[in-house]
Structure 1
Amino acid sequence: MPKHKKKIVLGSQARELVVRLRDYFEKEQQNNGPLLPLNQIVERVAEALDISRNTVSRITREKIGPDGMSDNKLSSPKKKRTKVKPITNLDGFAKVAIRNHIYSYYRRMELPTLSKLLKTLKEADLFKGSITSLRQVLKDIGFVYKKINKRKIIMERTDIALARYTFLRKVKNINDWSKVVFLDETWLNANHTVRKIWTNDTAQSCTKVPEGKGERLIICHAGTASGFVPNCLLAFKSKKTTEYHEEMNYEKFKDWFIGLLNNLKEPMTIIMDNATYHSVQINKPPNQSNRKSELVQWLSDNGVPADMQMLKTELIDLVRRHKPATPTYALDEMAKEKGHQVLRLPPYHCQYNAIELIWAQIKGHAARNNTSPPFTANKMLLLLEEAINSVQPEDWSKVVNKTKREILSDWDRDIHIDNIIESSLIISVTDTDDDS
């Protein structure tokens, strides 16, 4: 008689693995034998549990140790907590200012080196960190080092520049800017308030500024040069304290986006960024991280002969040769069916989205009116609605015109910089530091 097993309470993840394991054994039963050779132990475990081989190997090493003889107790991975670094954790406007400062070097026909850039940024009061911190910021906004005449020069990543050129070419041909919709998401903390409050110097008049950030609202809206699109405000309480983009998902955004499309009465150009939940692809090609079965399935669905006997490298090569030249986004296709077109912002270029300036206006209004308890999400929701109602059509018209001018100016700037580089007129400015 089999020995009675000790009852173990399994969590949701362990229960999911049990189901996967059962499904795998069922497939082997239907196959009348193993799906993979018995000597491929790691591969069989990975396939059965639908996890990567690296994960299987890593957990095995933790259990049996380097000598293969241990019986260590497995631990749960610690949650990664992202520590905010104020020097390098810059807001969108600060990043745009640094980007434009770098471009000014090219306008002057100079080559920006790291040490020289740090000096001029500090002189302009645009950055206060060290050269190491600046190096991280430049990486974060899409700049890399390239060697020109044996010197390391700060240059924009080619893919970032190309994405901007593509966007600017399309946007500069817009004839009627009243038919452009700008959409975006942002957040408001319940404790969002002005840091300093005027008082009459009496104890009764002093307001204690709340500590911490408090509850958070996630907000989504859209607007044109005439004002906010009617009936399109989405605001809800966050359940997390992490990055607000993690709170939104494709299904939630898609439902809101459908409502937006239904509220647009004529064909429009919709400008938005490439957030993950904006960018779900139709017929998305698999990549190296996908399993062989998924690669074979995608190839078969796209009329390319493939089977499990092929090596993964061969399958990846087939995918590479047969994948579409450009991705097809589900939301773009939905908009196209309604007569609209979607233009996607290049990475790190939030200044091309006029609603960013409206968000700043709304947050300022909310902060100035959130100076006394209670500091709650419900109160902030009321202040949000009040702030949105305070935004006038003239405000929207101003920010759209400002965005238009910036876009056209940047196109002229990029042409100018391209001509400078092409004609090799860049002046090499003496810099004794090696910028290593």
Structure 2
Amino acid sequence: MEAEDILLSTPNKKRKRVSPVTEIDDFDAAAIRNHIYAYYAHGEYPTLKKLAISLKDSGLFEGSPPSLSKILKEIGFAYKKNYKRKIIMERTDIALARIDFLRKVKDITDWDKVVFLDETWLNANHTVSRSWTDDKAESTTKVPEGKGQRLIISHAGTSSGFVPNCLLAFKSVKTTEYHEEMDFNKFKEWFLTLLNNLSEPHFIVMDNAPYHSVQKDKAPTTSNRKNEIITWLQNKGVEANNSMLKKELLRLVSIHKPRTPKYILGEIAKEMGHTVIRLPPYHCHYNAIELIWAQVKGYAARHNVAPPFTANKMLTLLHEACVHVKADDWKKVVEKTKNVIKKDWERDLQFDNICDQELIINLQDCSSDESDFDFDVDLGCTPFNN
């Protein structure tokens, strides 16, 4: 027996499992979404097997089909059967949210009156990820390992630049997701500052983060106590009492609750002459400030090269970075966002026409192919929680 034929084993050694590649940023998610739309636009059903190959060829995703399956579910797609074929379809609620948003913004005539707001973060040790080095001390970074203390940031801007006096940045005291440290009261205070710095009515584009979405007179749910449900119904002039079962009361709630919820921040903005337009889930590319954040973080990374690596220093770099973002930078990203929105509306119109006809099926995809089924079967719908 040749030496190379001998297989050595270590039965008691625990082998490290390779974790699935399921961490992607918002921009990659948007690119994958548009890649899937392109299949339908060309009259072809996308399957997990096809997508895994074509996304890799396009440089959009290098992971395995199971990893891709998880990502598709997370960004609002579900496994469906259509004429006994396994295909990937966008969840109806996500598609309707996008259509509602596009319908509201596509007819805006003055894009100078559109405000884009968002929250982000910067770590004290944030720096460039790659540089030329020969791995000697003289050409290696002095930035410590780890992320360091975090800054949580809110800002807003228009095609004219950042809205004056609206930069909010504070130090994080937790190591968890930064959204968890921005509560409704803190955001409301900042939002009022923003509104007071707008001299005329604007459209305000924001996402559906929980602290953006606190409802006014929210309809009760199964988590509410019975007496709370009764009180809500009675305030609406609906006859309800303690002799009724909770399921009966909730049925009355479903009948009498508003078709569209009213949000506290939206109502405040409305009273001051502004209109809040909410982004559809998983569509960050409709928010122009996302591209500005990339510019701000790039500046901070390039200039964070020497000690001290602290949150206070990063705060200084943040202010410098915002100053370096000019009105022309904002004008370009707003124009780009406007064009993406118009293009996507036209795409949805085209897709609607395609769905009204019979789609072309790639004959190279065998309808009895079981390889997709094992990966796709768990692509169920999950509630959106931004």
* Aligned with residue 413 of structure 1, among 347, 351, 358: 347
**Aligned equivalents of 1:359 and 1:403: distance in 2?**
14
For residues 44-77 of structure 1, what are the alpha-carbon distances to aligned partners after superposition, in whole Å with 9 as ceiling and x for unaligned? Answer: xxxxxxxxxxxxxxxxxxxxxxxxxxxxxxxxxx
1:378 matched to 2:312? The reply is: yes
Q: Secondary structure at the match of 2:44?
A: coil
| Structure 1 partner of 2:110 | 176
RMSD of aligned Cα (Å): 1.4
| Structure 1 partner of 2:218 | 284
> In the alignment, is the contact (CA less than 8 A) between 2:45 and 2:359 conserved in 1?
no
> In the alignment, is the contact (CA less than 8 A) between 1:195 and 1:209 conserved in 2?
no
Give the alignment of 1:331-370 within 5 angstroms. 331-370=265-304
Q: How many residues align structurally?
A: 352
| Structure 2 partner of 1:263 | 197
**Aligned equivalents of 1:198 and 1:86: distance in 2?**
30
Q: CA deviation at 1:200?
A: 8.8
* Aligned with residue 93 of structure 2, among 159, 163, 167: 159
What is the percent sequence identity of the aligned residues? 66
Q: CA deviation at 1:146?
A: 1.5
**Aligned equivalents of 1:311 and 1:276: distance in 2?**
31
Give the alignment of 1:295-306 within 5 angstroms. 295-306=229-240
| Structure 2 partner of 1:132 | 66
**Aligned equivalents of 2:363 and 2:297: distance in 1?**
42
Q: CA deviation at 1:97?
A: 0.8
**Aligned equivalents of 1:181 and 1:90: distance in 2?**
27
| Structure 1 partner of 2:323 | 389
Give the alignment of 1:89-238 within 5 angstroms. 89-198=23-132, 203-238=137-172
**Aligned equivalents of 1:322 and 1:86: distance in 2?**
45
**Aligned equivalents of 2:106 and 2:98: distance in 1?**
12
**Aligned equivalents of 1:198 and 1:170: distance in 2?**
47
For residues 260-292 of structure 1, what are the alpha-carbon distances to aligned partners after superposition, in whole Å with 9 as ceiling and x for unaligned? Answer: 000000110000001100011111001111111
**Aligned equivalents of 2:124 and 2:210: distance in 1?**
26
For residues 349-392 of structure 1, what are the alpha-carbon distances to aligned partners after superposition, in whole Å with 9 as ceiling and x for unaligned? Answer: 00000000000010011000011221111110000001000000
Q: CA deviation at 1:428?
A: 4.2
| Structure 2 partner of 1:73 | none
**Aligned equivalents of 2:362 and 2:267: distance in 1?**
48
TM-score by length of 2: 0.89
**Aligned equivalents of 2:224 and 2:214: distance in 1?**
17
For residues 116-140 of structure 1, what are the alpha-carbon distances to aligned partners after superposition, in whole Å with 9 as ceiling and x for unaligned? Answer: 1111111112112111111110011
* Aligned with residue 403 of structure 1, among 328, 333, 337: 337
**Aligned equivalents of 2:178 and 2:120: distance in 1?**
7
Q: Secondary structure at the match of 1:154?
A: strand
TM-score by length of 1: 0.79
| Structure 1 partner of 2:178 | 244
**Aligned equivalents of 2:284 and 2:112: distance in 1?**
20
**Aligned equivalents of 1:360 and 1:136: distance in 2?**
26
**Aligned equivalents of 1:308 and 1:155: distance in 2?**
44
Q: Secondary structure at the match of 1:186?
A: strand
Q: Secondary structure at the match of 1:347?
A: coil
Q: 1:429 to 1:285 in 2, by over 3 A?
A: farther
Return 300-309 or 413-422, whichever deviates more: 300-309
* Aligned with residue 324 of structure 1, among 239, 258, 270: 258
Q: 1:201 to 1:161 in 2, by over 3 A?
A: closer
**Aligned equivalents of 2:107 and 2:235: distance in 1?**
38
Return 187-196 or 165-174, whichever deviates more: 187-196
Q: CA deviation at 1:86?
A: 7.1
> In the alignment, is the contact (CA less than 8 A) between 1:335 and 1:341 conserved in 2?
yes
Larger RCO, structures 1/2 (Cα 8 Å, 6+ apart): 2
| Structure 1 partner of 2:7 | none
**Aligned equivalents of 1:408 and 1:290: distance in 2?**
42
Q: 1:182 to 1:86 in 2, by over 3 A?
A: farther
Q: 1:211 to 1:200 in 2, by over 3 A?
A: closer
> In the alignment, is the contact (CA less than 8 A) between 2:20 and 2:64 conserved in 1?
no
Q: Secondary structure at the match of 1:343?
A: strand
> In the alignment, is the contact (CA less than 8 A) between 1:420 and 1:426 conserved in 2?
no
**Aligned equivalents of 1:314 and 1:204: distance in 2?**
74
Larger C-alpha radius of gyration, 1 or 2? 1
Q: CA deviation at 1:201?
A: 8.0
Q: Secondary structure at the match of 1:111?
A: coil
Q: CA deviation at 1:426?
A: 3.4
